[in-house]
Amino acid sequence: MLIETTFTPLQSLAGGLLIGAAAVMLMGFMGRIMGATGILAGFISPSGWADWVWRAAVLLGMMSGPIVVLAITGQMPAVEVPVAMPMLAVGGFIVGIGVTFGGGCTSGHGVCGMARLSSRSIAATATFMVTTAITVFVIRHVIGG
């Protein structure tokens, strides 16, 4: 099975602008870093009602993207997952381990930490990128997926 990558520069630019704007607003209004896994963890185990409310609002905003696309284009975005469910589960588990040991995720380190020139976030993001490149190479060219 050949995995095709579709280049979508306008959608990618729009998504990047929205993520950046959300990160800036969360830092400006709440003084918080927009790390998705930290937001989700705090949503599951909040320190209080106010803490839970802002986390719920951010998570709802993250999940509402397809509804916005539907409102603008009249159709839901196509979601294609070219791997089997066991592979997704293993990948999710590995990412969870990385997030735990790395002290954050790609949104926290890659968007917010890099913008603050955090050496820890720069190292974490470089690790994400190198690991991703190696994984894609192995899956596509060594294993043959």
| Predicted confidence (pLDDT) at residue 1 exceeds the cutoff of 70 | no
**103 domain-assigned:** yes
* pLDDT value, residue 145: 59
**Per-position DSSP letters for 64-128, written without gaps between them:** THHHHHHHHHSSPPP----S-HHHHHHHHHHHHHHHHHHTS-IIIIIIIIHHTT-HHHHHHHHHH
**2 domain-assigned:** no
**4 domain-assigned:** no
pLDDT digits (tens, 9 = 90+) for 84-141: 899 889 988 988 888 888 888 888 898 889 989 999 999 999 998 999 899 889 988 8
pLDDT digits (tens, 9 = 90+) for 57-92: 999 998 998 998 899 999 998 887 877 899 889 988
**3 domain-assigned:** no
Instruction: Give the pTM.
Output: 0.77
Q: Determine the Cα–Cα distance for residues 62 and 53; give it in Å rounded to an integer.
A: 14
| Predicted confidence (pLDDT) at residue 28 exceeds the cutoff of 60 | yes
Q: Considering its fold, how many domains does the chain have in total? A: 1
The residue segments making up the domain with residue 73 are 9-143
Amino acid at site 62: M
